[in-house]
């Protein structure tokens, strides 16, 4: 049985049980918080970007924690940044924030600051895909198509990729339009 996408102990959550609650997930992404954050970063206003999300960090916002995971703190070594970034990414994923769940899956897939675990990556992709996040639908579809971390299932894979394309994922749209790739031969 594959390990869950996020291991969360009761100690790290206080007494709250852990469960993905997809009803809390904002599927209209990016939200205004992310849009403003990215605009500030693109304008070189890193301090303002941090201040923009700081108020949301204490409000149980997975999105704010996810965004904070991408900012290096002044004087932080790259090793300390990676450790903190992974911790925050896991925390955002534990709050059911689909982009964090997907990114955590990508890290498991490629071994980016974590050990490679393709089964765990597929679990992350499936979780974010079931929450309705098109980029995760595409990645989960690819995992199913190639049997990476899950049993190969071409028909189901193509259905997920099609849903991702319909949801606006550009890579999935390109896949769907590529000659001969969408014909199921199960």
Check residue 149 and give its pLDDT: 97
pLDDT band at residue 1 using 50, 70 and 90 as cut-offs: low
**Residue 25: per-residue pLDDT:** 35
pLDDT at 58: 78
**Alpha-carbon torsion angle 13, 19, 24, 29, nearest 10:** 90
Q: From 56, 53, 55, select the one nearest 70 (Cα to Cα).
A: 53
Which residues fall within 8 angstroms of residue 46, CB to CB, at 6 or more apart?
A: 40, 71
Tokens standing for residue 85: 């970034």
For 61-81, the pLDDT digits (tens) are: 999 999 999 988 889 999 999
Q: Which of 6-10, 119-123, 171-175 has the lowest mean pLDDT?
A: 6-10
Out of 33-37, 120-124, 176-180, give the one with best mean pLDDT: 120-124
pLDDT at residue 179 in the model: 85
- pLDDT of residue 131 exceeding 50, the answer is yes
Digit-coded pLDDT (tens) for 19-66? 333 333 335 677 899 999 999 999 999 889 989 998 888 777 999 999
Please give the model's pTM, rounded to 2 decimal places: 0.83
Averaged pLDDT for residues 118-143: 97
Which has the closest alpha carbon to 69: 51, 54, 88, 50? 88
Average per-residue pLDDT in the chain? 85
Q: pLDDT per residue over 79-105, tens digit each?
A: 999 999 999 999 999 999 999 999 999
User: How many CA atoms, within 13 angstroms, populate the side-chain half-sphere of residue 181?
Assistant: 17
Find all residues with CB under 8 Å of 76, minimum gap 6, and list them: 84
């Amino acid at each position: 049985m594959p390990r869950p996408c996020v291991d969360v102990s009761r100690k790290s959550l206080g007494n709250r049980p852990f469960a993905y609650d997809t009803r809390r997930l904002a599927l209209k992404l990016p939200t205004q918080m992310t849009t403003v954050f990215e605009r500030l970063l693109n304008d070189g206003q890193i301090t303002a970007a941090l201040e923009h999300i700081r108020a949301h960090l204490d409000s149980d916002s997975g999105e704010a924690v996810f965004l904070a995971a991408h900012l290096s703190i002044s004087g932080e070594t790259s090793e300390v940044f990676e450790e903190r970034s992974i911790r925050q990414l896991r925390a955002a994923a534990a709050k059911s924030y689909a982009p964090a769940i997907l990114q955590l899956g990508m890290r498991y897939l490629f071994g980016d600051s974590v050990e490679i675990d393709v089964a765990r990556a597929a679990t992350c992709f499936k979780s974010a895909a079931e929450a309705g996040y098109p980029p995760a639908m595409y990645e989960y579809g690819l995992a199913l198509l190639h049997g990476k971390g899950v049993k190969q299932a071409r028909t189901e894979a193509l259905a997920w990729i099609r849903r991702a394309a319909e949801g606006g994922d550009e890579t999935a749209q390109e896949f769907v339009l590529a000659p001969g790739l969408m014909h199921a031969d199960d």
